[in-house]
Structure 1
């Protein structure tokens, strides 16, 4: 009996993982990617002697990557290796105080108590709450489809459903965090986790306070070779399983026979398939690939509020800073004002929170001798037609002032290489509608239930993976979306 044919649209991390899983199940798999390289948002580039991971810079839950190698009967360490971070991130506050977020829970609690006066008991109580939310939600809401009856017909699901009041969905993250801590710095510290899925802590449900558990309990890691080694190792695995990758091959159309997918058209050529999986943002999947079938569009979902986007400066810096680590956060003095600008005014606050990632701290050859490669990012609104050239120019000045003040050094004199990525570029390079990084936002109690399903309810044989669908954005959730798709495809 001939193998079933599965075509993947997009070689983002979820598309690659889906290809691996379907190949393991015996499907004949081909991946079509519009860019000349795999990875989607998880890409890399080199300039002026510096190497930059262009997209996601934080690795958590690497077991989901290891699992792909194990499924294929391979030894993960033959392809992909990583090290756990002792310090997850350095935090810099406007009043001059600093916090090292140690991976060790006890050391972290002691550090917070030292820096802010909050009791170690309060920190541990918060960690217990985050762990509780994870235990309730993980097996049902993250690892399974919310759109299949069988998801709810098991004991774990039943226990989770009866425990739903404990996931704190009726309060906002900010409201919940103020109930745990007296010090505003710690409220700001934990409010920041809303940005991990492009949301607003003053609107997003406190259920998202699950995220600190994922980072603190499971740890943060740095892959040998940098973040892009995740992509290169998984592509190597996929190819060893017989998966074919076609680059510079944008898909023109998803071809239907009534309401069943027949295949895809690439450069005018029809490629037939039993199964088509779109790793493209659902908005573009419908508005570009299925534009001739508007009656099949999920209009409510496509009108949902988009997540925030990012403005990134890739700076080659002609000095090394011992006080900085792999991950560094420089907080805004007024977090509420910053989020109001992003979500209500759709612009950029003049004192934004700045994230600085420096992979050369762990991979020295990412920068010339005596230099560092700075990935400098702030959260910005999705692109709705703003004057980005002006916003970028103003933001650049404000970021340099902020970092220079915190580090007691004129950063502007140290920048010897610069590349900029804004929401327009993110949309163009990754087919992410409006440049939103995580698809739709999570700024409502029911957002998790309203994301697009991993299977089309109207088109037989069409599936979806990636950050714009269930269970959400970020590397771990994208990998889980691939698992959900492969469990669904026969």
Structure 2
């Protein structure tokens, strides 16, 4: 049995704590904030409640595996329901489509009905290619620890696999081979933002994101996805892990060239055989090690998000669980993000679950509204999200965009809570509020993401800023990878 310290109680830290504790390790988790969950946040006021992070589950097998490997199935502790439709999309030309959650054939039919005959066939052809990429990339890129040159050498020998994954192609590039309708290309571009990336630079392997969502379905936890974090924390405690909140770590201890525990901000030292860092990799390598090293370049940081939590009077006819409203010029949005400036005409994403647990009465609604945003980076000439004037102006930009696209809620607004990239950085410790850590831009992006096994023996990384990436499914896979690397008790 090893003594294991986990730094951070986000979803990745909690998942690895539960898995390692179930294997018999003595696990202790230290969280800097007052509650667990990390980016799986929650906000309540006046009976209105909001998930402030992820709003759906994809690749549910990852969560099912976590709960089965640590005890009872996920359904024993959470009410997990499949979404149908998954999302409503409105394009710049006014056309709209509901994408169903019942599988790829249903998606194709919905596209034909909404966008015109033949669009479903185009999307199906693209999804066949995405399925091939999934089959090739799933094990080496998502379910295994990358081993640097060894992994590259092994993959280079698989000529057919390389041709399928097309690491020299971007997501947008491979999409254009199959998608001739510009609205389908816009739809595909959106999936690059799932990892905070630019579709013109993100690798073709990200084609697996829409494939996973539409082939395996999208799911919601009644009461809010924050309950998932609570359930994993409960499971970790049941298996013997100890979780301490309001306990920031300010140093990873090294002894004899390997990790030896942590020092808390109050000066207390906790010895350990293994340290698992679930904090942003940039913070670990830049601030928590005695000798700062390997800080990810700032140019590789993913984008962030600007969020409005809206408490609304009345109900919106036909409102879906998720709504995506595209701008006139999607390329301009990515140009603004690349330049590090707030988006002038952003895509607007609305999450409004029809869940009585989230609203004070049946004649009210709680909306989580998100637009892509650059990270908080005033020290390097980037956007200063601490500017109250900027926050006010950008709030108006988002509300105006909603109104122009058919969802004017200003007359119904009881109050709004604003969350900026600076707030996200402060609350979670993510570098500049980068939601996904390192952006998936460029053919080598998977190999530039910090590895799960650090250069310091006994120190491992888990979570969205490390391999294999951000989002609940990949964070869950990173916990499984680290558990395998640490090994049985």
Give, in whole Å, the separation in 2 of the partners of 1:210 and 1:465. 21
Q: Which residue of 2 aligns with 1:138?
A: 138
Equivalent residues in 2 for 1:407-486, closer than 5 Å: 407=406, 410-457=408-455, 459-486=456-483
Give, in whole Å, the separation in 2 of the partners of 1:331 and 1:221. 23
Secondary structure, counterpart of 2:216 in structure 1: coil
- Is the CA contact 1:347–1:391 (under 8 Å) kept in the aligned structure 2? no
Secondary structure, counterpart of 1:448 in structure 2: helix
Structure 2, unaligned runs of 5 or more: none
Give, in whole Å, the separation in 1 of the partners of 2:93 and 2:324. 14
| Residues 85-132 of structure 1, C-alpha deviations (whole Å, 9 max, x = no match) | 121100012222101011232232122122222513212111111111
Q: How far does residue 402 in structure 1 lie from its aligned partner after superposition? A: 2.1
Q: How far does residue 404 in structure 1 lie from its aligned partner after superposition? A: 1.8
Q: Which residue of 2 aligns with 1:183?
A: 181
- Is the CA contact 1:456–1:462 (under 8 Å) kept in the aligned structure 2? yes
- Is the CA contact 1:453–1:464 (under 8 Å) kept in the aligned structure 2? yes
| Residues 448-484 of structure 1, C-alpha deviations (whole Å, 9 max, x = no match) | 1111110112x11111000110000000000111111
Which one of 80, 97, 103 corresponds to residue 99 of structure 1?
97
Give, in whole Å, the separation in 2 of the partners of 1:181 and 1:31. 47
Q: Which residue of 2 aligns with 1:218?
A: 216
| Residues 155-184 of structure 1, C-alpha deviations (whole Å, 9 max, x = no match) | xx7996641121122222222222222221
Which one of 73, 76, 83 corresponds to residue 74 of structure 2?
76
Secondary structure, counterpart of 1:368 in structure 2: coil
Secondary structure, counterpart of 1:87 in structure 2: coil
Secondary structure, counterpart of 2:253 in structure 1: strand
Give, in whole Å, the separation in 1 of the partners of 2:449 and 2:437. 9
- Is the CA contact 2:311–2:365 (under 8 Å) kept in the aligned structure 1? yes
Comparing 397-406 with 441-450, greater Cα deviation is found at 397-406
- Is the CA contact 1:52–1:366 (under 8 Å) kept in the aligned structure 2? no
Q: How far does residue 81 in structure 1 lie from its aligned partner after superposition? A: 2.9
Change (3 A) 1:24 1:304: farther
Give, in whole Å, the separation in 2 of the partners of 1:332 and 1:144. 38
| Residues 70-97 of structure 1, C-alpha deviations (whole Å, 9 max, x = no match) | 1123233221231111211000122221
Q: Is residue 487 of structure 1 aligned with residue 481 of structure 2?
A: no
Q: Is residue 126 of structure 1 aligned with residue 126 of structure 2?
A: yes
- Is the CA contact 1:16–1:235 (under 8 Å) kept in the aligned structure 2? yes
Structure 1, unaligned runs of 5 or more: none
Q: Is residue 249 of structure 1 aligned with residue 244 of structure 2?
A: no
Change (3 A) 1:26 1:387: closer
Q: Which residue of 2 aligns with 1:351?
A: 345
Q: Is residue 38 of structure 1 aligned with residue 36 of structure 2?
A: yes
- Is the CA contact 2:280–2:430 (under 8 Å) kept in the aligned structure 1? yes
Q: Is residue 56 of structure 1 aligned with residue 49 of structure 2?
A: no
Q: How far does residue 442 in structure 1 lie from its aligned partner after superposition? A: 1.0
Give the TM-score normalised by the residue count of structure 2: 0.93
Q: Is residue 322 of structure 1 aligned with residue 321 of structure 2?
A: no
Change (3 A) 1:472 1:374: same
- Is the CA contact 1:144–1:151 (under 8 Å) kept in the aligned structure 2? no
Would you identify which runs of 4 or more consecutive aligned residues in structure 1 move more than 3 Å? 148-154, 157-162, 301-304, 362-367
Aligned-residue RMSD, C-alpha: 2.0
- Is the CA contact 1:46–1:52 (under 8 Å) kept in the aligned structure 2? yes
Change (3 A) 1:282 1:140: same
Which one of 26, 29, 32 corresponds to residue 27 of structure 2?
29
Q: How far does residue 302 in structure 1 lie from its aligned partner after superposition? A: 4.3
Give, in whole Å, the separation in 2 of the partners of 1:151 and 1:482. 20
| Residues 360-392 of structure 1, C-alpha deviations (whole Å, 9 max, x = no match) | x13454343311100000001112212433443
- Is the CA contact 2:223–2:355 (under 8 Å) kept in the aligned structure 1? no
Give, in whole Å, the separation in 1 of the partners of 2:149 and 2:347. 42
Equivalent residues in 2 for 1:204-215, closer than 5 Å: 204-215=202-213
- Is the CA contact 1:320–1:370 (under 8 Å) kept in the aligned structure 2? yes
Give the TM-score normalised by the residue count of structure 1: 0.93
Give, in whole Å, the separation in 2 of the partners of 1:229 and 1:417. 25
Give, in whole Å, the separation in 1 of the partners of 2:297 and 2:180. 40
| Residues 313-358 of structure 1, C-alpha deviations (whole Å, 9 max, x = no match) | 0011112112221111000110001110011x21123210000001
Give, in whole Å, the separation in 2 of the partners of 1:429 and 1:92. 32
Would you say how many aligned residue pairs link Structure 1 and Structure 2?
478
Secondary structure, counterpart of 1:283 in structure 2: helix
Secondary structure, counterpart of 1:127 in structure 2: helix
